[in-house]
Amino acid sequence: MQASQQSALQGKHVAVLMTDGVEQVEYTAPRGFLEQHGVKVTLVSPKPRGEQVQGFNHLSPADRFPVELDVRDARPAEFDALVLPGGVANPDQLRLSTESITFIREFARENKPIAAICHGPWTLIDAGVVKGKRMTSWPSLREDLRNAGAEWTDEPVVVDGKLVTSRKPDDIPAFDEALLRELGQTTAAGRAA
């Protein structure tokens, strides 16, 4: 990692919105990658601060992670980007959380980077932010995304405006790099303003 890249991202703050049933590696790998680049990462959830989120390795329960911020107390203005990991149960539950969907919608309105992987893009449908967007996801979401007006494609990572999407855990390296580029562009835009 280049020191200039790390210093450029110093002070950046990324929210990861998730709940029980999250695909663990889709949380831990991007978080670790961002933190290695000097980015502060906060686990946001519709669960109260201090409660635990149950991670999964596919269908098997894995580690538990402490909630660092209740989504009811989170404001997009406090963050530079949003990460939406997958796992089937995680986005399915988030779709039922009005506060979570509002948080995502407000991120999109503020034109801040949103990175969703695997089943994570499911929540973007409820937030009303996929229409006209070129994106990818786990294959089972293809028709849901198309029905919501997205142009779905089968690629490791797709960037459309501030939206970054990927298909599966194998795509995490490309997903991480695309998110890092978006954060870097946000930094450059801030310096130019």
Residues annotated as catalytic (active site), given as ranges: 118
User: Quick check: 88 and 144 in contact, CB under 8 A?
Assistant: no
What torsion, rounded to 10 degrees, do the Cα atoms 67, 89, 100, 137 define?
110
- SS3 letters across the chain: CCHHHHHHHCCCEEEEECCCCEECHHHHHHHHHHHHCCCEEEEEECCCCCCEEEEEECCEEEEEEECCEEHHHCCHHHCCEEEECCCCHHHHHHCCCHHHHHHHHHHHHCCCCEEEECCCCHHHHHCCCCCCCEECCCHHHHHHHHHCCCEECCCCEEEECCEEEECCHHHHHHHHHHHHHHHHHHHHHHHHC
